[in-house]
Structure 1
Amino acid sequence: MDVAVSAWRDTKRPLWPLALVVPVLPFTALLLADVTGSAWAWWLTPLFILGVIPLIDLLVGDDRANPPDEAVPALQASPYYRWITYLFLPAQYAALAVACAAWARDPGWIGGVGLILTAGLVNGIAINTAHELGHKRETAERWLSKIALAPTGYGHFFVEHNRGHHVRVATPEDPASSRLGESFWRFWPRTVIGSLRSAWHLETSRHRLRGRNPWSVRNDILNAWAMTVLLFALLTVTFGVEVLPFLVLQAVVGFSVLEVVNYLEHYGLRRRRNAAGRYEKVDPRHSWNSDRLTTNVFLFQLQRHSDHHANPLRRYQTLRSFDVSPQLPAGYATMLLIALIPPLWRRVMDPRVLAHYGGDASLANSTPSYGSGGRP
């Protein structure tokens, strides 16, 4: 082994457990609520995720370091990194139970909104953990992915993301790839409905090709949704029927967090067709990236999205940054907030998309009305 490689160390190794701070935040909020008696305590989690993390991101800056290729096999095989993702799940479920208990005590509308955002953000970020686990070949990890998706009722993501989005990414046919000129608020219904339809078509077609009835426990969408039904039923029995509206609302917030991340990951990027009429292979130019260290630690390097699409089986600790990848001006936590304000988003991102294509908007994945004076 090369001396330089043998001496290489993952400098982020002690930082990765910080990802577990997210599902721990509701417990801190509970303690704060008990000590102060203030319903505003339940706003701690959204304040930390959407306020403190972007600030730390700005102060800490970027990390563009990549592991040497020779070190990747050992990194991939290390159980340390896997157990951090595994531990997210029990913390996620415990946080949801804490939120349900607080809701059942009637925290008032201020605390109630904070609780919905708290649980929604934790379970929305848990979809990223599900994303990391769902790409792996190990059966146990794939089932853990469905468990992480259950609180948001978004079990069909397991099918659509792996077999739909990764095939059609950065094309007009992909419901999870946003278009130049398309606001998040227009993208949201298109991706939520389109992804559900696509997932159902993919999974039922798989069963029919094998001569099986898709309405069975082996259907990956149905068994994932069954987990949600069981989870919500258990929480309702435990904490009372009044938690059902809370569970539904936090689920909507949770999967909306996923969809706003989808929105910013491929905005306006488009793969070209080759001479045979097929789309070119996915490469680092087809995903927006960010090397902000803080959000990469909290999101298991989801922001190194180009390498993920090129190599979906790579584990988070081995994902690389590429110079040719288009770069976001900030980390996901900041860009998520910008995406919710369409005029600000377009002012920040549209020039970057056009610069990526040398000023030629016809090369981008655009809305039909882009450039015609319309405001999609």
Structure 2
Amino acid sequence: MTTSRSREAQAAARPLWRDRKRYLWLFGLIPPTALFVATALIWVCNEIGWTAVSPVWWWIGPLLVYGLLPVLDRFFGPDGQNPPDEVMEYLENDRYYRYCTYAYIPFQLLSLSFACYLWTASDLSWLGIDGGLGVVSKLGLALSMGVMGGVGINTAHELGHKKDELERWLSKITLAQTFYGHFYIEHNRGHHVRVATPEDPASARFAETFWAFLPRSVWGSLRSSWELEAKRLERLGKRPWTIRNDVLNAWLMSVVLWGVLVAVFGPAILPWLVIQAVYGFTLLETVNYLEHYGLLRQRSASGRYERCTPEHSWNSDHIVTNIFLYHLQRHSDHHANPTRRYQILRSMDGAPNLPSGYASMISLAYFPPLWRRVMDHRVLEHYSGDITRVNIQPRKRERVLAKYGVA
């Protein structure tokens, strides 16, 4: 009787508004299952005699990121649906949405294990392949695993922001594939504090190319995460070299995962594990590059930076990549409200907007002249033409100011 009344109360409290993307969030499981789809397509191609075509499917990850997703973003266009205030609490507490992110992890681990088997197998006759995979196919497989790992970092990003202890540990497990466990510390306690300031290694500066930003962000974030944990442990009267150090215990998960895979499949998988990890965290850093490019929080008279608001993050509300990345593109709302779960993030008024979805902008970031042609004027327009309000690359500052007429 009590259970029946409880269900009736929940039904009565359920709002009339419906999330039209509710079941589309399951498409977020495409990256960790893409290898199994690719394997099936390869088998079919080999069975019907399309042996020249079948190796292309080992590159399914890059094909998704650089090909299919940008096209689908253009075709389906903006999302446009924001949850109203009255449903926010209901959506926040609907556990279905968190189960969608939890499901990423077992598929991720299964795919990585299967990839290790494919890298080392000497007989793939069951797949219609003579012997094992060639170097080109192994490279495509490694990059596809890197895409899974990169999107996995985004899944870890969603989980790591939550207060639930289980979700925080799941975040570290998800980061183990790419050996990027320190992201858990730096993103939450470093990047969110210093975002859109010159002190933040993960905020790209105006006139800074992606290729200059990449090493600065990778090493700066690594150093920052260690310093943050060392200070936290020092306040507790502990040294940094302890298992309680969240950087070390996150890295230990990577050591255990990679160690188990090497023990099972042999050291021949190590080069491919390294390639997929580097490519995976490079995808993350590409997204970091475009999320805050040129944006700057202003200082008050006291020297303190203003509070982070939606205007300090580039927004994009294209529905396909929204689903693929759990609303990461609604980045302006995320930085203004970091603990909000992905399903209740909104596209915010006043936020600067990217011209396309993340998938398209990632490709653009690799080509600095094209990137600056598309983005520099948008940065200036956001600040009403005042270049002095922009976060400028220090070594190019004088040149940039002179270009825009500032002494």
State the TM-score, normalizing by the size of structure 1. Answer: 0.96
Looking at structure 2, the residues matched to 188 and 45 of structure 1 have their Cα atoms a distance apart, in angstroms, of 21
- Matched letter for residue 32 of structure 1: L
Which residue in the other structure is 1:13 paired with? 22
Which residue in the other structure is 2:128 paired with? none
Which residue in the other structure is 2:386 paired with? 360
Which residue in the other structure is 2:215 paired with? 189
Looking at structure 2, the residues matched to 262 and 44 of structure 1 have their Cα atoms a distance apart, in angstroms, of 23
1:191-215 Cα offsets, whole Å, 9 max, x none, are 0000000000000110011101221
Looking at structure 1, the residues matched to 257 and 66 of structure 2 have their Cα atoms a distance apart, in angstroms, of 28
SS in 1 for 2:38: helix
1:283-333 Cα offsets, whole Å, 9 max, x none, are 010000001000001100000001111111100000011120000000001
- Matched letter for residue 372 of structure 1: R
Query: Following superposition of structure 1 onto structure 2, how do residues 284-323 of structure 1 map, counting pairs within 5 Å?
Result: 284-323=310-349
Which residue in the other structure is 1:147 paired with? 173
Contact kept? 1:264, 1:288, Cα under 8 Å: yes
* Identical-residue share of aligned pairs (%): 55
Cα RMSD for the two superposed structures: 1.8
SS in 1 for 2:287: helix
Deviation at residue 41 of structure 1 after TM alignment: 2.1
Looking at structure 2, the residues matched to 13 and 31 of structure 1 have their Cα atoms a distance apart, in angstroms, of 28
Looking at structure 2, the residues matched to 6 and 89 of structure 1 have their Cα atoms a distance apart, in angstroms, of 31
Matched, 1:372 2:388: no
Where in structure 1 do 4 or more consecutive aligned residues deviate above 4 Å? none
Looking at structure 1, the residues matched to 203 and 340 of structure 2 have their Cα atoms a distance apart, in angstroms, of 22
Which residue in the other structure is 2:275 paired with? 249
Matched, 1:271 2:297: yes
Contact kept? 2:314, 2:353, Cα under 8 Å: yes
State the TM-score, normalizing by the size of structure 2. Answer: 0.89
Deviation at residue 371 of structure 1 after TM alignment: 6.1
* Structure 1: tracts of 5 or more residues without a match: none
Which residue in the other structure is 1:330 paired with? 356
**RCO (CA 8 Å, sep 6+): is it higher in 1 or 2?**
1
Contact kept? 2:139, 2:272, Cα under 8 Å: no
Max Rg structure: 2
Looking at structure 2, the residues matched to 43 and 194 of structure 1 have their Cα atoms a distance apart, in angstroms, of 31
Contact kept? 2:196, 2:312, Cα under 8 Å: yes
Which residue in the other structure is 1:351 paired with? 377
Deviation at residue 372 of structure 1 after TM alignment: 1.1
Which region of structure 1 is more displaced relative to structure 2, 94-103 or 269-278?
A: 94-103
Looking at structure 1, the residues matched to 55 and 317 of structure 2 have their Cα atoms a distance apart, in angstroms, of 36
- Matched letter for residue 218 of structure 2: V
Contact kept? 2:79, 2:317, Cα under 8 Å: yes
1:43-91 Cα offsets, whole Å, 9 max, x none, are 1222123211110110100012211111111100001000000000111
- Matched letter for residue 43 of structure 1: W
